[in-house]
Chains A and B, each alone.
Chain A
């Protein structure tokens, strides 16, 4: 019988620019893991973790399988490490696999670690460009700005989304990141400042693009029995899934995120959700480009296609609204590579646990959604529904 699984702990490290990072990879990881163990408290130690999922795109880390030489995952006790590499969704994929393996009864307490992928990269674009042998660029979710351009140009052409619409949703993230001690970009750009920033790749402006951050994030998952022992605020994974698109883009239409829509139908059904806007209390969607948030509202059924700006203008997806989205600042304000795909889940869980800063805490959030996106041309999506008691 599959068991219920909960997130009981969240670990974070402070985020900074990769240029400024001087912590060695395993130091960042050990601090992050310790912070998750401290979060749970009750004497939980590294020795209690039965398996670790290390989510990465290792080529970008500069050394293949970097976790092999990071002795901070309990390997001295033989703890198995599972190295998950699915591109930008690796965090989501790792959480999903960890969830399955605990539900299946193979382990009781598992840690999922999302690394800071780009601390060793000298030139992110160089890495991204040489990724594939054919002449196609293989974007990872940061940099590769033209990918954002394809999607957002198409969207704008289709629905008439204005520059101000994009700036509004960006400003929403920036505003809340100011209060997130774990965000990287906490400058709190206003709509005016965003509109004044240069267009980097039409229609995307500088302040609508994520930074390249350093820092990491981890989650501790536990079986129902262990979760009730170790936590007063277990956040149950109600449903979680992943969907894959084709590889060669061929003549893929960049209108919206149809695969995410398909995945949402499946995951909502599993979670018993029929009216997402009503039934979901908080969401974190993957927005390395601010405008992606609109495509995600559409795909997730928060509104009709193209009508996202209305939700933002009416404050529906802001603090105090029906379905606050990305009050962490999202990937837009902190993108440390794979860690960002874990952070989308961590932030939702923290909101449901009531553990974020007061200025951005949603009251009584009981059902949450987390999304990750990535892979070649956004080939993959993962989606999770969380619920607390």
Chain B
């Protein structure tokens, strides 16, 4: 890309349990958007466009963008709502800026309502083949986890360990929802839900909200001394039907990763990246993602974990935010990880020992809404200057 786009500002609420925020989406959106503008001296008039990352079904109303976009400053301005993920919204904002239609774009997302996750993720299945089986997200995760267990040398203990790593990070993160550092043993002892996955290996639901501001290169330099540049970003979507090999292949994540690396001129992600924030709705997914993201060969995700590489004190810490096991706003989980990544790169609040992070990867996906097939993935590479 011959022009750059940066994240110049953000605001994030501390996440809580479902329905615990005590306010509606629009109020939460207003609070974070306003803060995000004010931190860099922007007024509502300076905003060119608003992009909202939510899904109607997860807002409990249809055309929910109607309620949300004005809260983020869209009155008399351009606005759009994209349902796939926060990173798809970032692509929209970037495209608006790089095409010259906008200079300043706000991206916002929020989760404030509580809904029945089992019901909704079953309702999201097709009505002909999978819906009638009662298939929902965690049942689908069970299939994927079993498959991974069989295909690679990973063990159920590895699954518990990677979950524990996430909980440890979450316990240190004041923005995370679940802040209890469950041990491997506690995780292995928790109730079996869909073999081989136990309750503590499955994400729950959280509520919170956040917003961040994208700006053109020129505007970014006016607004802040620490712009975080988007060096690469790409998306891909999986088929819904197919052979099991296709459905379990993580093809879309691999494709999105590859493309974003290309854009960011990354040839060896394991070495070129300083940290990653991955959407991990179940424990095993993080290890599967190591492989799809190309930081280890197929089937060897567990080695990275066993060697300590992806722990907070390792060479490539993954999910310092605590990941999705600790914080999972169905709409905003990606936004949460984007903002956490910006904080890490700016060294704003996640530990002094992590001050030398220069380049990170954020992954976002809507796999959480249905687990098997049809999932969209996006990968973004962020970099700070200097």
Contact = CB atoms under 8 A, between A and B. Distances in A.
Q: Do chains A and B touch in the complex (CB under 8 A)?
A: yes
Interface of A: 1-2, 51, 57-60, 62-65, 67-71, 73, 75-76, 78-87, 93, 96-97, 99-101, 103-106, 127, 131-133, 138, 140, 241-247, 259, 262, 375-376, 379-380
A71 B247 CA distance: 13
A97 B239 CA distance: 23
Interface string B232-247: 0011111111100010
Nearest to B370: A68
Contacts of A58: 55-57, 83
B63 A68 contact: no
Contacts of A86: 63, 65, 79-81
A376 B373 contact: no
Contact of B236 (A79, A246, A380): A79
B127 A63 contact: yes
B63 A57 contact: yes
Contacts of A127: 62
B226 to A, nearest CB: 24
Given A69-B126, A243-B77, 19 more contacts: A2-B98, A58-B55, A62-B127, A68-B369, A68-B370, A69-B241, A69-B374, A71-B240, A82-B88, A82-B91, A82-B235, A84-B80, A86-B80, A86-B81, A101-B99, A103-B100, A106-B95, A138-B63, A375-B65
Interface of B: 1-2, 26, 50, 55-57, 60-63, 65-67, 69-70, 74-84, 88, 91-92, 94-101, 120, 123-127, 131, 234-242, 246, 251-252, 255-256, 366, 369-370, 373-376, 378
A65 B76 contact: no
B99 A259 contact: no
A287 B373 CA distance: 38
B124 A64 contact: yes
A204 B88 CA distance: 41
A67 B83 CA distance: 11
Given A103-B99, A106-B91, A376 B63 contact: yes
Nearest to B71: A247
A295 to B, nearest CB: 18
A100 B63 contact: no
A65 B236 CA distance: 16
Given A73-B237, A83-B84, A247 B61 contact: no
Contacts of A85: 55-56, 63, 65, 81-83
A97 B378 CA distance: 17
A101 B82 CA distance: 14
B99 A2 contact: yes
A100 B99 contact: yes
B75 A245 contact: yes
A64 B65 contact: no
Given A84-B82, A131-B62, A68 B374 contact: yes
Contacts of B67: 247, 376
Contacts of B374: 65, 67-69, 75
Contacts of A2: 98-100
A87 B65 contact: yes
21 contacts: A59-B56, A59-B57, A62-B127, A65-B57, A65-B366, A68-B370, A69-B125, A78-B236, A78-B252, A79-B236, A83-B376, A86-B79, A97-B80, A100-B95, A101-B95, A103-B98, A104-B94, A131-B62, A138-B62, A243-B78, A380-B66
Contact of A244 (B60, B78, B369, B370): B78
Contacts of B125: 63, 69
A82 B235 CA distance: 9
Q: Which 5 A-B pairs have the closest CB atoms?
A: A68-B374, A104-B98, A103-B99, A87-B63, A64-B57
A247 B246 CA distance: 43
Contact of B76 (A68, A75, A106, A243): A243
A138 B63 CA distance: 8
Nearest to B378: A80
A96 B62 CA distance: 21
B247 to A, nearest CB: 11
Contacts of B239: 71, 75-76
A352 B91 CA distance: 31
